Every structure is written in C-alpha cells, then in structure tokens.
Structure 1
Amino acid sequence: MKLTHHEQTPHPEHPFAEYIRILGKGKKGSRPLTQDEAYQAMKMILAEEVQPIQLGAFLMLMRVKEETPEELAGFAQAARESFDLVGPAATVDLDWSSYAGKRRHLPWFLLSALLLAENGIKVFMHGAEGHTAGRIYTQDVLKFLGIQHAHSMAEAAQQIEQNHFSYLSLEHFCPKLHEIIELRPILGLRSPVHTLVRLLNPFNADYSIQGIFHPGYRPVHQQAAALLNQPHMAVLKGEGGETERNPDMDCLVQSVHEGQLSDENWPALFTHRHVKPELLDPRQLALIWRGKIDDEFAEAAIIGTAAIALKLLGKAETQQQAHELAAAYWTGRDKQKYAGS
C-alpha cells in the first residue's frame, strides 16, 4: 500500500542543521557557538559534509552577528588540522598574513618583510588574491621584485630555508577555505573566513603578525590568539587592512605574549597627511628598495612596520630602539637585490 504524502517518513535532520539553528533561532533564541561547536562545524565544512545552501546560510548568519574569539579559535583549530604538511616542516620565526590587498597605496609591508628576512628572520607570508576587484594583491607584485611564490608547503619550506622568506597562496594549503573566500562576489559580503585565515599560522611559528581594517576586529584577533595558545602575536589596523603601519596616523597594536594581553600605541611619524598617489605602479617597489627613487611615505611605512615586527620578536625593548634598528636595517640593505621583472 502506498503511503500518502502526510504518512511518508520525514527526512532525518542533517547533522549540520544544528549549527545553523544555534546561530539563527531569532533574537532571543540564537547564541554564538562555543569553541568546540565552531571546531566541529568547521571540520564538517572542510570535509565537504555540508550542502552549499547550508554553507551560505551559516556564513551569512555568522557575518550578521560577527565572530567571537571562541568561534574564531574553534574554526582555526579545525583548519590547522586539515593542512597538507607533506615533507619537512620549516622553522619559521614570523607568520605574516596578507589577505586584504591594497587599493590606496602600494604594499610597502612586503619590503618590511624582506628587510627582516635579509637580517636573518625567517618570514612566512600567506594570503589570497583576486577576491575583491580593484585591489593589488601580494602574489601579483612579487614578480616585480623578481621573487617566485611557492606552490606548496614543501616548496615554501625550501624557500624559507634558502631565502628566509616565502609567500604561499591559501589555495595551496587549504583549498576549501580559498574556495569560500572566492564566494565574496556571489554573496556580496566578506565572510568569517576572511577573519579566520589571518589566524592560520600554517608552520606554527611562535610569532605572528596580523593586519585588520575594522578596528573592532583587533581585540577579537588578540583574544582568539590567546585561546589558541599562540605564544606571541600582534594585530594592528593596517593600511587598507594589510599588516602595514600607516605612518600618517597613530597605530594601536594589540598583542599577546605568553597569555598576557597588552595594548600599545605607536604615534604617527608625520604631522601632515600625505596625498595618495593617483596611480599605483608595482615597479616602484624595486625602485625604492634599490634607492633609485625617494618616497618619504613609503620609507616610513617600511621602517615603521618593520619596527613593530622587531618589537614583537623581542629584538628591541622600546619603540625607539625598534625604530632605530629597523632604520639601520633599511640603511644597510643590499640594494642590488630585487631587480624585478
């Protein structure tokens, strides 16, 4: 005998539906995920155990309410477990995230990272490119410095050992998160993954530095790093959202050192504001490094960003010492490097 529509056995609830319900059960019924719930939810997403409609609903519910430190920490835990760490791991001194892209100024922070690398500090930079129109992304400008980006974690490890620097795109170590970032033009909004990726630290470096655009996210990153037991981390509102100090403005750096949270203001390096350039020409990165052109804003951004990293790394005790050391690195750099293409 055939069952009528009302007598048919209902479909069992999808396991991921629970996490959508927690976030979306109205103003009074909804709540944030716990760190463990966030971990379990992200594990399912990365394992492709979630339907596309569920993923979209989850991402946008998270976006509307905004991520808590506990949620970010749970997401990051799950993501770190998914990395394909084949071959020998590199010893990285400083993990540097680069996901925002630049729109108003060139990515001067890239020269800050290379300056540290030239002075024996092993820097691993990771990012994603192309997800927002009209921005310049780190991977795209490396060729103007004659630098080849890595295509795998193993190649990144090799580059770090040889050159103390490597850049690797997210698509090569966590393709599912890269796929989600690429949804931005479809969803019309950034998702929690744009925040999460800055915390990934694939080589588990003791020191990590992150830039954000919206100041409200700064303490969220700081607290999430503490929950992840990140020994040392600094987060700042960077120029364009990248990890770059804007020398025209005061810069609040929020840090974690062995579980202790601290805030420190780095004052502006100029009393006046610089006019943004009309055209961004990535070839200027090599020209500035090689001393072929002068640009006080660029040099202050490079030295100022390197100074924050040096203080984070414990290479200097005070802001002044860190700035003097960064300036000495810049003066003594090998100007024959980075001829570009």
Structure 2
Amino acid sequence: MSLAAHVRTLGRGPSRSRSLTEDEARDAMAAMLREDAAPEAVGALLMLLRMKGETAEEIAGFAASARAHLPQLPAVDLDWPSYAAGRTRGAPWFLLSAKMVAQAGHRVLLHGWNGIDPKVRAGLKAAGIPVVVTPEALADALDQGGIAYLPLEDTHKALFRLLNLRDVLGLRSCINTVCRMLNPAGATASVQGVFHPSYRLLQADAARVLGWQSLSVIKGGGGEFERTPAKDVAAFGLRGGQAWEQVFAASLPEPRRLSDTDAESFAAFARSGGAALGAFETAIVTGTAALALDTLGAANGTATAKDLWSRQINQTAA
C-alpha cells in the first residue's frame, strides 16, 4: 500500500477517517523508512497522527517494522532506551543504575539519541559503558561487562532521519515513542522513561500488543528512566505479559529535584566508585536500579540494589 493511502486513511475527515491497524502501521513505517519516501507524505502522516493521538496498535506496528530493519543482535535481558532531550535533567545517574543491573549478572542494552544535550554521551564514558555500532562489537561488550550502548544515528540511520524531522516540523512526533519501543535486541523486559505522563499507558499497551513480558514505564528525570527519591513514583507496564501498575513511595524527605544534581558530582562518583556520593544521589542510583531489577523479576529489587551498592563501596574502600 502506498504512503498516500495511509495519509488518506488518517485524514479523510471527522466522519470517515480512522486509526491505522497494526498491519497498516507496519506498512506505513516501512514506506517512511525508504529513502525515496515523499517528504510531504511523511510529514502529513506524522502530523495527522499527532493531532489524532496515536493508538497502541499504531505504535506497536511502527516499532515492529522499524526493528525489522535492524540486523540480528545478541540476546539481552533488559532493554533500556534513552531518548530524552535533557532540558530538565541533571546528571545521568540512570547510567550508573544500568551498570549496577549488569553487575548483578543481567545483560543490559542501552540505546538512544538525546539531541544536542551532551550529558548522556559524556556520562557513558565516565561510567565505563562502551558505545558500539555493530553486532560483533555488541557481543564482545556484553560478554566482557554485560552492558553496552547503541547510538541510534549509527545503528538505524533511517529511523534517525525520521526522528530528526522534529527540527523541520517544529513538533514532536510519534517517532519519539517508536524509538523508546524499538527494543533492538528483542529483550522480554524493558524499562522506559517519559516526560509526559499520558505516554506511560500508551507504551504499556503497545508493549502488550507486541507480546512483551515485562515493562516498567515512569515519568522520570527529564524523561529518562530515572527514579526520584523525593516523591512517590507511579509505574505502569507489564508483568508476566499482563497489565501492571504500582506506586513506589518516596525514600527520602529531601525536597530536591533530579535536575538539581550536576555533572561534577557525577564525575566525582565515577572517579571514586561511589564513596563520594551523597545520600540523595545514592538514592537515585539504587532506587532506579531497584525498579529495573524488579522489572527483571528480582524477588526484592530494593534489597538487591542496596547490596550491590554496599559491595561497590566496600570494594572501592579496600
């Protein structure tokens, strides 16, 4: 089916237009990813979806089609997307949480793009998380340290081109959500952060359509999967393939925001291995790791995260 046909389905008017089915969304994404896709039709389709509001079936179809354009990647346990623009985020503490999860024996794949914000990419180096662009390099990194990061601009150039249409259109499109749902290695568990709370249920429903087993979505620091210790955090997603939601209580009374933390304290942590980290930052790292471990099925994610933290501090002091 042509891309114009999908635009027509979405834009016929109030009485005749409708949402795309999952199969139609797969077909539409395949067409948009082609180099010869008409830019006018791509822009029209994305903006019609924005005005209408995307359905779970549309997001699932788009994500499945986009993933089909990737090469076969090594298996991982946990998918961890990072696509926030960073305007309201402090240091990327969630990277340290992801590394803790890997140290617990789980294979973790981070992937993303954060616009012009340099914090995440700089944080990867500070945290010792390798950036890889080929399946072979990914396999080596996972075997050596259990964690790696795939940059979207190198590993899925066509999807990256669609994501960057935000600069042309002046508005966010559903491609931001599709990237979070990409799950390049087909992990059965994923953790995701959003900036707008309404997307939590959309992504959870799309994951159910795709047949995922475990997912946790939160409104996190600057839109990342990063749990604040200063307030209750509502999480949505899946457990055992079924709809799940839970509220995680604040762990500290300190009324600080995640954006109040800075890159200098993050760098100090990376140098010290954690010994120089304050209580608030420690709670960010362990709390985020705990929810990720819970997503992976840990019996007590909080206890496991705190134990991992204590071991790290003791090893640093030794």
Same fold (TM over 0.5): yes
1:183-228 deviation line (CA, Å, top 9, x unaligned):
2222211111100111111111121111111111111111100100
Structure label with greater radius of gyration: 1
1:284-313 deviation line (CA, Å, top 9, x unaligned):
44146341x232221111111111111111
Q: What is residue 94 of structure 2 aligned with on the other side?
A: 109
Q: Equivalent residues in 2 for 1:252-291 (5 A)?
A: 252-274=234-256, 276-277=259-260, 280-281=263-264, 282-287=266-271, 289-291=273-275
What is the number of residues matched between the two proteins? 313
1:100 pairs with 2:100:
no
Residues in 2 aligned to 1:257 and 1:104: alpha-carbon distance in whole angstroms: 28
Identity percentage of aligned residues: 38
Question: What's the C-alpha RMSD, in Å, of the aligned pairs?
Answer: 2.1
Counterpart residue type for residue 260 of structure 1: Q
> 173, 186, 194: which is aligned to 2:168?
186
Q: What is residue 239 of structure 1 aligned with on the other side?
A: 221
Contact 1:128 / 1:170 at 8 angstroms: preserved in 2? Answer: yes
> 123, 126, 145: which is aligned to 2:111?
126
1:253 is paired with a residue of what secondary structure? strand
Q: Comparing 225-234 with 265-274, which one deviates more in the overlay?
A: 265-274
Residues in 1 aligned to 2:18 and 2:273: alpha-carbon distance in whole angstroms: 50
1:55 pairs with 2:38:
no
- The structure that is helix-richer by fraction is 2
Distance change >3 Å, CA 264–CA 228, structure 1 → 2: same
1:236-283 deviation line (CA, Å, top 9, x unaligned):
111111011111121111121233111111011122311543854352
Residues in 2 aligned to 1:290 and 1:257: alpha-carbon distance in whole angstroms: 31
1:135-193 deviation line (CA, Å, top 9, x unaligned):
34422322223443112232112201111000011123221111121222222111111
Residues in 1 aligned to 2:192 and 2:272: alpha-carbon distance in whole angstroms: 24
1:288-340 deviation line (CA, Å, top 9, x unaligned):
6341x232221111111111111111111xxxx32122111111127778xxx
1:244 is paired with a residue of what secondary structure? coil
> 7, 21, 35: which is aligned to 1:20?
7
> 185, 201, 211: which is aligned to 2:193?
211
Residues in 2 aligned to 1:208 and 1:287: alpha-carbon distance in whole angstroms: 29
Gaps of 5+ in 2: none
Residues in 1 aligned to 2:261 and 2:106: alpha-carbon distance in whole angstroms: 34
Q: Give the TM-score of the pair, scaled to structure 2.
A: 0.91
Distance change >3 Å, CA 27–CA 151, structure 1 → 2: same
1:303 pairs with 2:290:
no
1:81 pairs with 2:68:
yes
1:315 pairs with 2:294:
no
Contact 1:288 / 1:295 at 8 angstroms: preserved in 2? Answer: no
Residues in 1 aligned to 2:47 and 2:28: alpha-carbon distance in whole angstroms: 14
Contact 1:22 / 1:32 at 8 angstroms: preserved in 2? Answer: yes
1:99-143 deviation line (CA, Å, top 9, x unaligned):
11433321111000111111211111000132xx5x344223222
1:28 is paired with a residue of what secondary structure? coil
Q: What is residue 4 of structure 1 aligned with on the other side?
A: none
